[in-house]
Chain A
Amino acid sequence: MKKHRINNIDQKKDIWLYIDFPLLALDAVLTDTDNTQAESAIAIASLQKNVQRIVCCNNHAQKWGIEPALSLSTALAICPNLLVLSRNHEQEERLLHSLALIAYQFSPEVIINDRGLWLELSGCDQLFHSYSKLLQRLHRQMLSLSVTATTGIAMSPLSAQLLCGQKFQYYLPDEDEIHHSLMATELFKLPGNQKQKNHFKQLGLESIGDLQALPRSALSQRFSPELIETLVLLNGEKPCTLNRFTPPIEFSDQIQIPQGLYSKDSLLFSMKTLLQRFCLYLSARQCHCRNVVWRFEPLLGECQSMAITLSGSNNNCSSLLTLSRLRLERLELPQSIEQISLFCDQFIDKPELSFDLFDDQITLDNQSSELIDNLYARLGVDALSQPSMSEEHLPENAGSISPPNRSAKPNYATSKAPQPLWLLTEPTRIQQHNKQLYWRQALTIISGPERLCGNWWQSEQQRDYYLACDSKGARYWVFRESMSKQWFVHGLFA
């Protein structure tokens, strides 16, 4: 029985998907520029061994006969109208990482190659009901970043890369089919140096099938140990040891707008795109953010930044966008914005919600934190406050106003004497004429006193608090300073 189960585990084979981005260098540079350029022939060039060579080019350029590895001068001679852009490795890497983040939604094992991604898909079909649905959704999401992608599927990473075709395929080939096409793959695609390739030619080996037919011991005598290693990896006899992709510990992304944006409304579109990427990141890391920082950079002059604080539970794209929009209303921006960046490095673990049968409690809690966030974003930090208590005797110190904090604080014991609901920020001196107190109108003392002493270490205060009322029935909290014998009003019993 046990043996049988072990066999079963052995039978479960990896399914590796390799997604190649042949035009990655072009896509990385073009995503940020406008679409009018897409009509012309464009190529990316970079310096290789002191010669500017074409790295990749679009379809229009291909029609002219431009191809990778062509030197720039030749390319310009063939096609004088060729628009040549220089390669930007940083942007390429950023694009590849955002693609990896998308892929991470579909598979827990993602490996980044220099121009493509590997995904291990075995078992991932359950969530998406079938492999073809998974592949369709994956492709749709990748297209949202406007990249060209082609795929290959096989039982090991290396063979998937070798089998990478010309388009994004939506069906999962069966094992025999994969084996068959792998054996028919030409040998020059196999990684290795020129000497090894010549060697293959001399031996009359053309396809991988020819090579695999030879015994390993014979191959190890004729070829370097690297080839044997490659074959082992190709057959999936050894697990792939490349580093798996994990989302970075902080999020930072940007969008460049070379033509500049002049109004706040036009900023929102790019901000939404960035927030969508950010939400993808949050779901990949399974956490919530505490605050995000926006930076708006003009070509000249100082950049403006704004921070948005979140109380926790509302981390979806639309509420983040609403908050950013509200906050943006209060921000003075430079005339034209050329780069928008979003940054976040404060995260909290996603709270584990236990769902109520009638889900009232959670919505209530969500609503209040959303409300606080909205008020914060529009009115600013200074506009919101909360009464809080501290262990002091003097009323102006005992009840203070502090920034909102949503957790319950310890409450100190309070006096049993009547206390007013309203407190004047500062005690106001009141006049006294012939045994009569006046503040707005004549006041009469109806009860008291309650003696409060405090602050003896700074300036000694001794106050006798009384309850007073006026002719209309309003009640006041007044006190008499023992030292100066002055009367003050300090609060109202609302």
Chain B
Amino acid sequence: MPSKPLLKNLLSRQDTWRGRNRSLRKHVITTGNNSLDRLLLGGWPVSALSELVSQQDGIGELSILLPTLKRCANEDKLCVWLDPPYQPYAPALVSAGIPLHKLLVVRCKNSREWLWAAEQAIRGNALLFAWTNQTQPRYTDLRKLQLAAADSRSPAFLFSSTAVLKASSPALLRIELEALKANVLLITLLKLRGKAPGAKIQVSLGDESTERIELDKLPVNIHYPQLKKPDYLLPLKPEVLRLNT
């Protein structure tokens, strides 16, 4: 009789064929957005590497993953952010409902450490968000991560810039993110096992109003009257103490 964890690992693999299982991909995690779910055949692939390509930061590349992040964190999964380009802002994460103690930000010194940490996180069944700004992983490195992800039970996300589009990727899913305007993302499917590439959808990330405010029409600044600081707030001058002789 096979040992329990061995069987469990085997059954949790995506490429294990199980008799009556008709659907092509059952191991997905919902994105929280119906049209995106339809594009991705059900959601983000679990046990696989997904690559999100965007030309620049700040267009909403992280916001579309927030529902997934929230879900994984609330399932008590550790979420590892590997080499994020900026500092994650805690109040924004808290208002998105993400428990902060489930996040772990990891900074690496070189690409070897980056690859090792990414693989460890995947093998440790953590939710991985990895940024490739400082390190340009090679195809073989990514292939290693994809293989590690195939054995794990979590999705792994890779954020890269459009420069990587010249090369092919071993990731199971590759999408390109562009901002049509503020808060509206255009998502292009570049690669997904089981679906032809090229499909595009628009995803709204919330408030779409782009009413522009001219600088000279900003609400008037309310100036505080410049109060003179009271004396007791001024730093004390060092005084020479004289001994009474």
Contact = CB atoms under 8 A, between A and B. Distances in A.
Interface of A: 361, 364-365, 367-368, 370-372, 374-375, 378-379, 382-389, 395, 398-401, 404-409, 411-412, 414-416, 418-425, 432, 435-437, 444-449, 460, 462, 464, 466, 469, 472-476, 480, 482, 491-494
Contact of B63 (A385, A421, A432): A421
A444 B212 contact: yes
Contacts of A492: 57-58, 86
B175 to A, nearest CB: 16
B101 A415 contact: no
Contacts of B41: none
A445 B218 contact: yes
Contacts of A382: 107
Interface string B79-115: 0100011111111111100011101111111000100
A125 B209 CA distance: 78
A387 B88 contact: yes
B56 A375 contact: no
Nearest to A378: B116
A409 B101 contact: yes
Contacts of B216: 435
B107 A383 contact: yes
Given A378-B113, A446-B210, A420 B90 contact: no
20 contacts: A364-B76, A367-B124, A374-B124, A379-B106, A383-B113, A384-B107, A389-B100, A415-B91, A416-B95, A419-B89, A420-B92, A421-B62, A422-B88, A432-B215, A435-B215, A444-B213, A445-B213, A449-B218, A473-B181, A475-B60
A476 B59 CA distance: 9
A389 B100 CA distance: 9
B189 interface: no
A372 B78 contact: yes
B104 A404 contact: yes
B126 A371 contact: yes
Contacts of A367: 124-126
A435 B210 CA distance: 18
Contacts of B104: 372, 375, 384-386, 404
B182 A364 contact: no
B34 interface: no
B199 interface: no
A245 B62 CA distance: 59
Given A371-B121, A386-B104, A493 B212 contact: no
Chain B interface size range: 35 or more
B16 to A, nearest CB: 19
Contacts of A462: 224
Interface string B41-61: 000000000000001111111
B184 interface: yes
B95 A414 contact: yes
A387 B90 contact: yes
A422 B100 contact: no
Nearest to A380: B109
A482 B223 contact: yes
A401 B94 contact: no
B33 interface: no
**By CB atoms of chain B within 10 A, which of A400, A401, A421 has the most?**
A421
A401 B87 CA distance: 8
A432 B215 CA distance: 10
B173 to A, nearest CB: 19
Given A386-B103, A419-B89, A482-B224, A472 B213 contact: no
Contacts of B77: 364, 368
Contacts of A406: 101
Which 10 residue pairs are nearest across A and B when measured between Cβ atoms?
A473-B179, A371-B124, A399-B90, A492-B58, A422-B86, A474-B58, A494-B62, A368-B78, A419-B92, A423-B89
B93 to A, nearest CB: 6
Contacts of A475: 58-60, 182-183
Contact of A387 (B93, B113, B180): B93
A370 B107 CA distance: 18
A388 B90 contact: yes
B215 A365 contact: no
Contacts of A365: 76
Given A462-B224, A472-B56, 6 more contacts: A368-B125, A371-B120, A384-B106, A446-B211, A466-B218, A474-B58
Contacts of A383: 106-109, 113
Nearest to A371: B124
Contact of A422 (B85, B101, B207): B85
B92 to A, nearest CB: 4
A401 B81 CA distance: 13
Contacts of B60: 475, 493-494
A375 B104 CA distance: 10
A404 to B, nearest CB: 6
B117 interface: yes
Contacts of A480: 218, 221
Contacts of B86: 422-425, 491-492
B20 to A, nearest CB: 22
A125 to B, nearest CB: 29
Nearest to B211: A446
B231 interface: no
B58 A368 contact: no
Interface string B168-209: 000000000011111110000000000000000000000101
Given A364-B125, A435-B214, A445-B215, A473 B221 contact: no
Contacts of B238: none
A419 B90 CA distance: 10
B219 interface: yes
**By CB atoms of chain A within 10 A, which of B104, B107, B183 has the most?**
B104
A398 B211 contact: no
Given A378-B116, A389-B94, A446-B213, A469 B106 contact: no
B32 to A, nearest CB: 16
A398 B179 CA distance: 29
